[in-house]
């Protein structure tokens, strides 16, 4: 696995350094500084120099770097780096140069705990927080008791959950969140449409409950089974370690003992049968060299009981635009000269509703005429209780030996932010 772990700032200074094996010296950090940090042409996250491979992730002007001489599993190395980043965010709220410098003692404790001789160990945030903390424990008797519980949790069957969790009100919240990516041609043909989704869960349940979570009856993951009508086709799925995969393969039921609090239960991707929430119909006409006319129509492609909120369209204008006269019946439209776009904001669009913007952009004369590249229209929005992939939660059941009653909540959210683009 990995032999060394570093955190660099954007200047190439080493903030955190840990050598797990003896096949490297600390001077290996200078190689990364010269070859990667000081070289603006490097774009690949993996750099191999001789027999040494550097795996790095950039986050908030920091480089999180793992170094190895072995033929390591690249996906596993990056999973370790991203898991470390998530742990730091959970501990410190964010990960940047200031938070690393202010908490370097805790960070050294964390990297020693989650990695042993270069091999990843327990990286469950809830478990780590029980014994790596910035708060002191006063009572020695209490410390001994807590130490016993931590040991049984970290080495037990469910390392992600303690058995003595208690709540007065037992609740489970499930959020199915999907991000729609769209690229549509000027002729109205879909060039790319896919969904990046994840199921986020917050479990406030006493004891050690068994949860069962059912998805669509027609859920296809195997490529050999594609082509079933009305089926939800997922290209790949990734589950939290608490999920029993055998049950999912057999009945599309997710069985698990949930961690306490908030966690990501499942992540998935879909590229087939994507339902596009908003349809954008642009008509843009260049009238000579002095004016451009716009007619942009937005149509909501979902039921009238649902609505899209926080809808923002960024409609590009030529670089030599002086003024834009905008007319809308819904929302507010304004020309932003610093960005060369018309920003059209709609607080809400009801399902089946159509909204239209008409505008005329006045252009200044230029000595040399340049062809307008026509960048795509960007659309941001949120639609509650709608999934673009068609994924739905059929049921959520909680079983616990004390047979308590629990309250379950399920919410769906489909959104786009900078990834829903229409060319014209």
135 pLDDT tier (thresholds 50, 70, 90)? low
Q: What does the pLDDT read at residue 142?
A: 44
* 334 located within any domain: yes
Place of tokens 């938070």: 99
- How many structural domains are present in the chain? 3
CA–CA separation, 144 and 401 (whole Å): 28
Half-sphere exposure of 88 (CA within 13 A, CB side): 26
Look up the CATH number of the domain holding residue 304. Answer: 2.60.40.1170
CA–CA separation, 249 and 326 (whole Å): 54
Looking at the chain, the whole-number percentage of residues with pLDDT higher than 70 is: 91
CA–CA separation, 145 and 181 (whole Å): 50
Q: Are residues 224 and 311 in the same domain?
A: no
* 141 located within any domain: no
What digits encode the pLDDT tens for the residues 189-207? 999 999 999 999 999 999 9
Q: Are residues 266 and 289 in the same domain?
A: no
What digits encode the pLDDT tens for the residues 330-366? 999 999 999 999 999 999 999 999 999 999 999 988 7
State both tokens at 368: 């040399």
Q: Are residues 307 and 403 in the same domain?
A: no
Domain final residue, candidates 87, 104, 123: 123
Q: What does the pLDDT read at residue 360?
A: 95
Q: Are residues 357 and 402 in the same domain?
A: no
- Asked if residue 137 has pLDDT above 60, the reply is no
* 130 located within any domain: no
Using a CB cutoff of 8 Å and minimum separation of 24, what contacts does 163-169 make?
163/207, 163/208, 165/205, 165/206, 165/207, 165/260, 166/206, 166/207, 167/204, 167/205, 167/206, 169/204, 169/407
* 148 located within any domain: no
Measured in degrees and rounded to the nearest 5, phi and psi for residue 351 equal: -55, 135
Q: Are residues 341 and 256 in the same domain?
A: no
CA–CA separation, 118 and 68 (whole Å): 9
Strand extents, DSSP E, 288-406: 291-300, 307-316, 321-328, 332-336, 341-350, 354-363, 377-384, 393-399
Q: Are residues 403 and 268 in the same domain?
A: yes
42 pLDDT tier (thresholds 50, 70, 90)? confident
Q: Are residues 180 and 217 in the same domain?
A: yes
**What residue numbers bound the domain in which 269 lies?**
171-274+387-422
Contacts of 313 (CB under 8 A, 6+ apart): 280, 296, 298, 342, 343, 344, 346, 357, 377, 378, 379
CA–CA separation, 1 and 195 (whole Å): 33
Q: Are residues 44 and 177 in the same domain?
A: no
Q: What does the pLDDT read at residue 128?
A: 83
* 48 located within any domain: yes
Q: What is the DSSP letter of 36?
A: I
CA–CA separation, 33 and 71 (whole Å): 22
Whether residue 219 contacts residue 253, with contact meaning beta carbons closer than 8 Å, is answered with: no
Asked whether the CA dihedral 386, 388, 391, 396 is positive or negative, the reply is negative
Q: What does the pLDDT read at residue 127?
A: 78
User: Beta 232-233 vs 219-220: how paired, if at all?
Assistant: parallel
pTM of the model: 0.74
Specify the 3-state DSSP secondary structure of 268: strand
Domain final residue, candidates 67, 97, 123: 123
Q: What is the DSSP letter of 290?
A: T
Specify the 3-state DSSP secondary structure of 422: strand
Q: What is the DSSP letter of 390?
A: -
Half-sphere exposure of 226 (CA within 13 A, CB side): 10
Looking at the chain, the whole-number percentage of residues with pLDDT higher than 90 is: 54
Q: What does the pLDDT read at residue 331?
A: 93
Specify the 3-state DSSP secondary structure of 34: helix
* 132 located within any domain: no
- Asked if residue 370 has pLDDT above 80, the reply is no
Q: Are residues 392 and 245 in the same domain?
A: yes
What digits encode the pLDDT tens for the residues 371-424? 888 999 999 999 999 999 999 898 899 998 888 899 999 999 999 987 899 999
Specify the 3-state DSSP secondary structure of 33: helix
Q: Are residues 238 and 115 in the same domain?
A: no
Q: What is the DSSP letter of 276?
A: P
Domain final residue, candidates 123, 144, 179: 123
* 163 located within any domain: no
CA–CA separation, 268 and 250 (whole Å): 18
CA–CA separation, 260 and 125 (whole Å): 10
Q: Are residues 320 and 365 in the same domain?
A: yes
* 332 located within any domain: yes
Q: What does the pLDDT read at residue 229?
A: 57
The most confident of 87-91, 149-153, 280-284, by mean pLDDT: 280-284
Q: What integer best gives the mean pLDDT of the chain?
A: 87
Q: Are residues 71 and 117 in the same domain?
A: yes
State both tokens at 252: 């599309």
């Amino acid at each position: 696995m990995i032999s060394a772990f570093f955190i660099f700032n954007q200047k190439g200074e080493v903030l955190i350094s840990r050598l797990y094996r003896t096949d490297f010296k600390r001077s290996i950090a200078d190689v990364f500084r010269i070859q990667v940090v000081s070289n603006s042409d490097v774009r690949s996250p993996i750099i191999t120099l001789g027999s040494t491979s550097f795996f790095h992730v950039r986050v908030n002007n920091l480089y999180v770097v793992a170094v190895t001489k072995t033929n390591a599993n690249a996906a596993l190395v990056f999973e370790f780096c991203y898991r470390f980043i998530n742990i730091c965010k959970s501990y410190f709220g964010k990960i940047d140069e200031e938070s690393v410098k202010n908490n370097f003692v805790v960070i050294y404790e964390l990297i020693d705990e989650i990695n042993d001789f270069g091999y990843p160990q327990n990286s469950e945030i809830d478990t780590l927080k029980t014994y790596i903390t910035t708060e002191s424990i006063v009572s020695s008797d209490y410390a001994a008791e807590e130490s016993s519980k931590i040991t049984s949790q970290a080495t037990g069957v469910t390392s992600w959950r303690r058995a003595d969790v208690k709540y007065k009100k037992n609740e489970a919240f499930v959020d199915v969140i999907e991000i729609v990516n769209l690229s549509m041609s000027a002729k109205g043909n879909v060039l790319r449409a896919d969904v990046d989704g994840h199921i986020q869960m917050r479990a406030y349940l006493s004891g050690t409950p068994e949860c069962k979570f059912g998805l669509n009856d027609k859920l296809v993951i195997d490529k050999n089974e594609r082509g079933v009508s009305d089926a939800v086709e997922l290209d790949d799925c990734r589950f939290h370690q608490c999920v029993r995969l055998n049950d999912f393969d057999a009945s599309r039921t997710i069985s698990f003992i949930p961690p306490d609090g908030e966690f990501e239960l499942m992540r998935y991707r879909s590229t087939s049968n994507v339902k596009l929430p908003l349809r954008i119909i642009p008509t843009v006409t260049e009238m000579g060299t002095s004016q451009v006319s716009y007619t942009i129509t937005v149509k909501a492609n979902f039921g009238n009981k649902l609505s899209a909120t926080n809808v923002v369209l960024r409609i590009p204008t030529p670089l030599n635009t002086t003024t834009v006269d905008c007319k809308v019946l819904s929302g507010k439209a304004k020309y932003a000269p610093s960005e060369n776009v018309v920003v059209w904001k709609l607080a809400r669009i009801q399902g089946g509703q159509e909204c239209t913007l008409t505008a005329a952009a006045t252009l200044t004369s230029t000595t040399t005429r340049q062809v307008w590249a026509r960048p795509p229209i960007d659309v941001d929005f949120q639609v509650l209780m709608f999934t673009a992939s068609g994924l739905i939660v059929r049921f959520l059941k909680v079983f616990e030996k004390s047979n308590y009653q629990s309250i379950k909540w399920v919410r769906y959210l489909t959104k786009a932010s900078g990834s829903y683009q229409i060319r014209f």
